Amino acid sequence: MAECAAGGHLQGFFTLPAELRLEIYSHCPPFTLLQLSCSNHFFYHEINRSPKLYQSSPDYKCCSLVTAGSNCVRHGTPKISMSMITRISDWKERTLFNKLYPQKDWYYGPDEEIEGTRLSYARCLHCSKVGRFYLYSYGRCEPCEVSSNRFMDSLNMDFHEGIADRTDDASDI
Ranges of the chain with pLDDT below 70: 1-9, 63-77, 104-119, 158-173
Report pTM.
Answer: 0.67
Provide the residue ranges of all domains of the chain, joining segments of one domain with +: 1-86, 87-173
pLDDT at 38: 93
Q: Which has the closest alpha carbon to 119: 106, 105, 134?
A: 134
- Say which residues have a Cβ less than 8 Å from residue 22's Cβ, sequence separation at least 6: 46, 50, 53
Check: CB of residue 87 under 8 Å from CB of residue 128.
yes
pLDDT digits (tens, 9 = 90+) for 93-113: 999 998 888 776 555 444 455
Q: Is 166 exposed, middle or buried (0-12, 13-18, 19+ CB in 10 A)?
A: exposed
